[in-house]
Amino acid sequence: MPSTLLIPLAARARGNHYFPWLACGDAVAAGLLERLGTDVEPYLNDLPTVLNVLWRTRIIRDTAQGFFLRHPGGQGVNLGCGLSHHFQWLDTGANHWLDADLPEVMALRRQLLPARCPRTRLAEADITQPGWWHRLGLPPRAAGSGAAAAPALVVCEGVLMYLEPGQVQAVLHEFAQCAPPGSRLVLDVLTHRAVGTAGRHASVGPTGAEFRWGLARLADLSAAHPRLALRHAHSVAECYGWAGLALETLWWPWLGAPLYGMVELEVTTP
């Protein structure tokens, strides 16, 4: 499963060539690939996945920049960060950023991408183990005085679809339970019809990872906790113009959710 991190890394490093209108201008990814010396050509032949990654990078960047405009000194965290480096686009000069992943990935990341700014941190985390919010030192739900704490921004891309549905519910529940009101979670989602099909996926298949969680309805996300509200949902179908949108509309009763989409959840005060 950790080896899947090469798929988005390759797309951010080299995908600009195929989809210049979605170019993310990642200043770090290409250098990392060079140092890793891995052949990523097969990933670049899977153009729909390259497009998915560039499209989601754009949405994450825009969402996060909007969040830090409202909260210039706020805390951001990337759960299952792999070798991504979103802080290159998000540094306000006052905000804080945490990159967290499984220990074996963080060992690699510490060598290749050590934290160089005093406002950034690296941490080992397994988000299937309850208590990760506090273990990562993320802002508590209320400040010491009982006042509301500053909200946090959580990014979780290319991660949750590989977990069991119960584990995803627990991650959503912990975020909603522990994060201060106004906190946002940006994540990517697959339709439940994709579950069990990773073997047929051009890039994911060879890694041996499997899609275990998918959405039957977008409303299932906010149903995970009374404090969760769905703020935005996008489908990658929008990248394929009217034909993509028409096909998705036709299939919607069967898909129940975007084939591949991005959603933003907010912690509210019920």
- Contact partners, residue 44, CB within 8 Å, separation at least 6: 10, 11, 14, 15, 18, 50
Contact 121, 115 (CB under 8 A): yes
Maximum separation of any 2 CA atoms in the chain, in Å: 54
Binding mask 138-157 for ligand SAM (x = CB under 6 A): -------------------x
Pick the closest to residue 5 from 51, 48, 36, 45 (CA basis).
36
Nearer to ligand SAM, 167 or 268 (CB): 167
Could you give the C-alpha distances from 69 to 41, 172, 210, in angstroms and in order?
Answer: 37, 25, 37
Q: How far is the CB of 26 from ligand SAM (least distance, A)?
A: 10
Nearer to ligand SAM, 53 or 267 (CB): 53
Contact 186, 60 (CB under 8 A): yes
Site for ligand SAM, residues 3 to 22, rule: CB under 6 A: 4-5, 7-9
Q: Pick from 23, 40, 102, 122: which binds ligand SAM (CB under 6 A)?
A: 102
Instruction: Tell me which DSSP letter residue 149 carries.
Output: P
Contact 134, 110 (CB under 8 A): no
Q: Does 215 bind ligand SAM (CB under 6 A)?
A: no
Q: Pick from 34, 39, 62, 126: which binds ligand SAM (CB under 6 A)?
A: 126
**Part of the chain binding ligand SAM (CB under 6 A), chosen from 19-27, 122-130, 210-218, 221-229:** 122-130
Q: How far is the CB of 107 from ligand SAM (least distance, A)?
A: 11
Q: Pick from 24, 90, 113, 125: which binds ligand SAM (CB under 6 A)?
A: 125
In the bound state, the residue with its beta carbon closest to ligand SAM is 82
CA distance 259 to 270: 31
Name 235's bridge partners.
Answer: 261
**Part of the chain binding ligand SAM (CB under 6 A), chosen from 2-10, 144-152, 173-181, 229-237:** 2-10
List residues near ligand SAM by CB under 6 A. Answer: 1-2, 4-5, 7-9, 80-82, 84, 101-102, 105, 125-128, 157-159, 162
